[in-house]
Amino acid sequence: MNNKLKTLNRVLVANRGEIAVRIIRAARELGIESVAVYTDADAGTLAVRLADKAIYLGASPVASSYLNQERLIEAAIQSGADCLHPGYGFFAENADFAEAVAKEKITFIGPSPKVIRLMAGKDKARELATKAGVPVVPGMSVPSDVKKFKKEAASIGYPLMLKAVAGGSGRGMRLARTAEELESALTDAKKEALAAFGNDEMLMEKFIEHPRHIEIQVFADSLGNVVHLGERDCTVQRRHQKLVEEAPAAKLHPKLREQLHQTAVSLCKEVGYLGAGTIEYLVERSAEPDGSFYFLEMNTRIQVEHPVTEEVFGVDLVAEQFRVARGESLSFSQSELVPRGHSLEFRLYAEDPSAQFKPCTGTVVYVSRPGGRGVREDTWIEAGTKLSAYYDSLLSKLVVTGRTREDAIARAKKVLAEYVLEGMPSTLGFHRWLLEQDAFNDLEIDVTWLERSYQGQELHGEGVGPVSLAETKNWQDPRKSNDSET
C-alpha cells in the first residue's frame, strides 16, 4: 500500500436528488461513510435516508442552502467529513468553492481549483484547446466597443452564437442570424448571464447549423495516466438541454472517432487534469472520413449522462473518482477499455412537453418501474416525493442497454411502455414518441432537429403517451381496497 495515499473515510455529499443517491451508494461500496445535506423541501428524501448521517442546511432557496458556500463547509467540518463530493451543478465547477474546501484540509472530489478555473471560462478554454491541437469554432470575445463588435461579428459571419463566458446548461446563449438581430441578442444574453452567473462577459462564435453533439468521457489520475472511455451522443436536445444520451455514438466514422478520442486526451494532458471530465464537441458530416469537429467546452465534473458509459464499459466512474482523489492509479488501462453493446439514457423530467417543456411541481402519487436485463434506473423519487419549484426538475434517468443500438431501442420501447408515473406531467410520453420517429431511429438528426420536429404534440394513447393505471382495463387500485395491507 502506498503510504502517500489520502485517507477518505467520510464524504459530505454537497448535492441532492438522484446524483446524491448515486454518490452515497458508490461511497458505501468503498467503505466510505456518507453525509447528506438537505433543506425543508428535501427532508425525508431518499438520499437523506440512505446516508449514514444528514445535516440540515436551512430554508429551501438555493442561495441559502445548496449554493451557500459557508454553510456547506460548516456542515462538512461539523460532520467530520474528510472529503466532499459536489456531484454536478451547484458548486461542482466552482474553483473558489474547491479552494475553500481544500483550505479546511478536506479533499475535494474533482480536479484542482486551478484546472477548474482554466476550463470554466469559455474564452480561456478555447485558447487551451487550440494549444492542445483541438479545433475550435471560429470566434472571439465580444469587444466592449459596439462599432468594433459589429465589425468583428461581420468578419466571423452569420449566423452567430453569443455565449456567456461563464455559462453552461444553455443559459446566457442567444442566436443572431442577421446583423439586425445582433444587438438585441447580445442584450438578452448578457442579462441572462449576469443573473445566472454574476458575469456578463460574452463570447461570439460562428453558429454551426446542423451538427451532432458528441462528447468524450476522460479520466486521469495523479500519476500521469490519462484515458478516454469512448464517446456519447447527446444530439437530442431542446433549448441546449439534453434529453437523451447514448453510447457509443453510432454512424461515426472510425477516423473521426479516433481524432475525437486523441484530442480529448491531449487536452487533458495539456491542463494537468485529475479525475472525471468530459470534452464536448460539435461534429459535422460525422459519417464521413473528412467530417469536421469543433471544441465546445470541457465539463470538469461527473456528467448527468455518465451511466451510459458505465454500462458500455463495465466501470463505476463515481467510485473511480474517489480512488483517484485518494491518490490511487486508475483501475483500468486504455487497452482494457473495450466497449460492449449500446446504451441509451432517457432523462425523465417533471416537465410538460405539450407546453414547451414547462417545469412542473407536484407530488408523485404512484410510480411503477420496469426491470429486467439491460435496464437500470438512477432516481430519487418514490410515491409521496414532492417536487419543489426551487430545484431542477429531473426525476429519474432510465438507462437501457442492448447488444446493438437497434436492440437497445427495441428494449427501450418495451421498458418505456411499462413505466408508470402519476401525479404530474413528465417527459415519459415524449420519450415514447421519440422512439417512433424514423429520423431518430435512423440517426438522421442534429442538435436542432427536435425543435424543428416536435411541436408539443399531445402524447396520449397506447404506445404513445402515459397510460394511467386508472384507465387500464380490469385494474383495481390496491391502495383503495379494504382488504389490502397497509
CB atoms within 10 A of CB 198: 8
pLDDT in tens, 359-395: 999 999 999 999 999 999 999 999 999 999 999 999 9
The yes-or-no answer on residue 411 being catalytic is: no
Q: Between 241 and 15, name the one with better pLDDT.
A: 15
* Phi, psi torsion values for 134, nearest 5 degrees: -95, 125
Domain spans in the chain, listed from the N-terminal domain onward: 10-109, 138-206, 212-470
CA 202 vs. chain centroid, Å, equals 23
pLDDT in tens, 418-452: 999 999 999 999 999 999 999 999 999 999 999 88
d(CA 479, CA 482): 8
pLDDT at 140 over 90: no
First-last CA distance in the chain: 51
pLDDT in tens, 154-180: 988 898 989 888 776 678 889 899 999
Task: Decide whether 10-109 matches 212-470 in CATH topology.
Answer: no
Give the mean pLDDT of the chain: 90
Q: Residue 174 forms beta bridges with which residues?
A: 162
CA 388 vs. chain centroid, Å, equals 20
Cα separation values, 78 from 68, 70, 298, Å: 15, 12, 33
Q: Using CA of residue 240, residue 244, residue 250, residue 251, what is the dihedral sign?
A: negative
The three three-digit cell numbers of residue 331, written as one number: 483501475
174, 257, 301, 432: the active-site residue: 301
CATH number for the domain whose boundaries are 212-470:
3.30.470.20
Tell me, yes or no, if the pTM score tops 0.75.
Answer: yes
Q: For residues 283-292, b (16+ Cβ closer than 10 Å) or e, as one string?
A: bbebeeeebb
d(CA 415, CA 339): 23
pLDDT at 462 over 90: no
d(CA 234, CA 97): 29
Fold exhibited by the domain 10-109: Rossmann fold (3.40.50)
Indicate the class that CATH gives domain 138-206. alpha beta
